[in-house]
Amino acid sequence: SSELLEKAPNDELIGKMKVASVLESLPGIGKVRSKKIMDAVGITETRRLQGLGVKQKQNLLEEASKA
Protein backbone atom coordinates (compact mmCIF):
# COMPACT_ATOMS: atom_id res chain seq x y z
CA SER A 1 0.00 0.00 0.00
CA SER A 2 2.79 2.46 0.84
CA GLU A 3 4.51 1.56 -2.45
CA LEU A 4 1.37 2.47 -4.38
CA LEU A 5 1.13 5.80 -2.57
CA GLU A 6 4.75 6.58 -3.46
CA LYS A 7 4.26 5.68 -7.14
CA ALA A 8 0.87 7.41 -7.56
CA PRO A 9 2.16 10.89 -8.53
CA ASN A 10 4.38 9.51 -11.32
CA ASP A 11 2.36 6.54 -12.56
CA GLU A 12 -0.89 7.47 -14.29
CA LEU A 13 -2.42 4.00 -13.94
CA ILE A 14 -1.75 3.80 -10.20
CA GLY A 15 -2.70 7.43 -9.65
CA LYS A 16 -6.15 6.87 -11.13
CA MET A 17 -6.95 3.97 -8.80
CA LYS A 18 -9.60 4.73 -6.19
CA VAL A 19 -8.42 4.72 -2.59
CA ALA A 20 -11.38 2.51 -1.60
CA SER A 21 -10.43 -0.13 -4.19
CA VAL A 22 -6.85 -0.25 -2.95
CA LEU A 23 -7.93 -0.55 0.69
CA GLU A 24 -10.46 -3.28 -0.12
CA SER A 25 -7.75 -5.29 -1.89
CA LEU A 26 -5.71 -5.50 1.32
CA PRO A 27 -6.09 -8.64 3.45
CA GLY A 28 -8.62 -8.20 6.26
CA ILE A 29 -10.10 -4.98 4.89
CA GLY A 30 -13.49 -5.13 3.22
CA LYS A 31 -15.97 -2.46 2.18
CA VAL A 32 -17.09 -1.63 5.73
CA ARG A 33 -13.61 -1.34 7.23
CA SER A 34 -12.41 0.56 4.16
CA LYS A 35 -15.20 3.12 4.63
CA LYS A 36 -14.39 3.48 8.35
CA ILE A 37 -10.71 4.09 7.57
CA MET A 38 -11.52 6.64 4.89
CA ASP A 39 -14.00 8.42 7.17
CA ALA A 40 -11.42 8.54 9.98
CA VAL A 41 -8.85 10.09 7.63
CA GLY A 42 -11.35 12.41 5.94
CA ILE A 43 -11.15 10.96 2.43
CA THR A 44 -14.23 10.86 0.20
CA GLU A 45 -15.25 7.57 -1.44
CA THR A 46 -14.48 8.89 -4.92
CA ARG A 47 -10.93 10.07 -4.12
CA ARG A 48 -8.14 8.63 -6.25
CA LEU A 49 -4.58 7.96 -5.08
CA GLN A 50 -3.12 10.88 -7.03
CA GLY A 51 -5.49 13.27 -5.24
CA LEU A 52 -4.24 12.53 -1.73
CA GLY A 53 -2.27 15.09 0.24
CA VAL A 54 0.84 14.29 2.29
CA LYS A 55 -1.05 14.23 5.60
CA GLN A 56 -3.83 12.10 4.13
CA LYS A 57 -1.27 9.55 2.91
CA GLN A 58 0.39 9.38 6.34
CA ASN A 59 -2.93 9.07 8.16
CA LEU A 60 -4.19 6.48 5.68
CA LEU A 61 -1.14 4.26 6.23
CA GLU A 62 -1.51 4.66 10.00
CA GLU A 63 -5.20 3.72 10.00
CA ALA A 64 -4.75 0.84 7.55
CA SER A 65 -1.98 -0.66 9.68
CA LYS A 66 -4.36 -0.75 12.68
CA ALA A 67 -6.90 -2.81 10.73
Residue-wise pLDDT for 15-63, tens only, equals 999 999 999 999 999 999 999 999 999 999 999 999 999 999 999 999 9
| CA–CA dist 48, 28 (Å, integer) | 21
57 alpha-carbon distance from chain centroid: 7
Distance CA(48)–CA(52), nearest Å, equals 7
| CATH of region 2-66 | 1.10.8.50
Residue 67: what pLDDT? 72
For residue 24, the Cα-to-chain-centroid distance in whole angstroms is 9
How far are the Cα atoms of 59, 67 from residue 43, in angstroms, in the given order? 10, 17
Q: What is the pLDDT of residue 2?
A: 84
On the question of pLDDT at 1 being above 80, the answer is no
